[in-house]
Structure 1
Amino acid sequence: MSEKSKLSFPVHIPFVEQLGFELHSLGDGQAELRVDLKEGHLNSWEVAHGGVLMTLLDVAMAHAARSVHKHQPGMGPGVVTIEMKTSFMRPGEGELRALGKLLHRSTTMAFCEGSVFGEDGQLCAHATATFKYLKALPGRARSVKTLQRQDDSAG
């Protein structure tokens, strides 16, 4: 994977960093992520675990939903997944590429689709999802959790 084409994720997502996902494009209701599969990504068939594919799709679609706020301070509100439906077509192997696309949005909701392609260019999985735009998330004991933007850690 080319280091030049990699972008920084706009938010700190420890799980995504642990999985080694890379952001390659973001804007105009679209996002592209990639991951080069390692042993820890595999299932007992030695192909991408479905959870890795679903996470890749979820993150690609969420970033597509947020990309329309790219020019707002902190990239605008965050999103949380409300529902997601995934279909698996073929095993994912090698470097995977996920494309997320915003289909429609309202003030509070985003409707997206995403596809994961294997290194051979074949479609491995497809998903649709609904996201809710949020400025904060209520946590335990009703404490408010703010979005951990990348620029927050610098200060």
Structure 2
Amino acid sequence: MSTVRGFTVPFIDHLGIEFVSYGQGRSHLRLTPRPEHNNAYDMAHGGVVMTLLDVTMAFAALEPEQPDMGAITVEMKTSFMRPSRGTLNGHGVVLQRTKKLVFIEASIIADDGEICAKASGTFVIKQRPAQA
């Protein structure tokens, strides 16, 4: 299992999401869907795309200097714009921070440079529990 920020998330690991970069209110994650991630139309299942968007936004909210903090999704809205095929790059950006909440947007961009899906979300930043 891969470890990011000193902890593992088995579901993220299972999907094969790669962490390219994060920090300063931005993030870049990557996923190359496998056949078992597809729906009946031979494109990435919406749940897989939403998970990539969710994790991309969460990592935009986090800072490398605070490895004991985690981002928890409060709400999320997703728009699917076209089929998600090939390697999918998630790019997230923080729009606004308050004392308790972070407002973020993310896009999924396919190999051809086209946007497949977009999301906006609200996250709360909390200290992570110790992982056994």
**TM-score after normalising by structure 2:** 0.92
| Structure showing greater Rg | 1
Partner of 1:26: 22
- Is the partner of 1:53 in helix, strand or coil? helix
Does the 8 Å contact 1:78/1:147 carry over to 2? no
Counterpart of 1:9 (choices 4, 8, 14) is: 4
Q: Alpha carbon RMSD of aligned pairs, Å? A: 1.6
Question: What is the one-letter code of the residue matched to 1:71?
Answer: E
Counterpart of 2:117 (choices 122, 125, 141) is: 125
Which consecutive residues of structure 2, in runs of 5 or more, have no partner in the other structure?
none
Q: Comparing both structures, which one devotes a greater share of its residues to helix? A: 1
CA distance in 2, matches of 1:129, 1:14: 22
How many residue pairs are counted as aligned between the two chains? 130
1:1-155 matches, within 5 Å, as: 9-10=4-5, 11-67=7-63, 70-72=64-66, 75-136=67-128, 146=129, 148=131
Distance 1:147 1:125, change over 3 A: farther
% same residue: 42
Q: After TM superposition, which residue ranges in structure 1, 4 or more long, deviate above 4 angstroms?
A: none
Distance 1:147 1:66, change over 3 A: farther
Partner of 1:141: none
- Is the partner of 1:114 in helix, strand or coil? strand
Question: What is the one-letter code of the residue matched to 2:4?
Answer: F
Question: What is the one-letter code of the residue matched to 2:43?
Answer: V
CA distance in 2, matches of 1:135, 1:34: 25
User: Structure 1 residue 116: deviation in Å?
Assistant: 0.1
Distance 1:132 1:126, change over 3 A: same
CA distance in 1, matches of 2:58, 2:130: 14
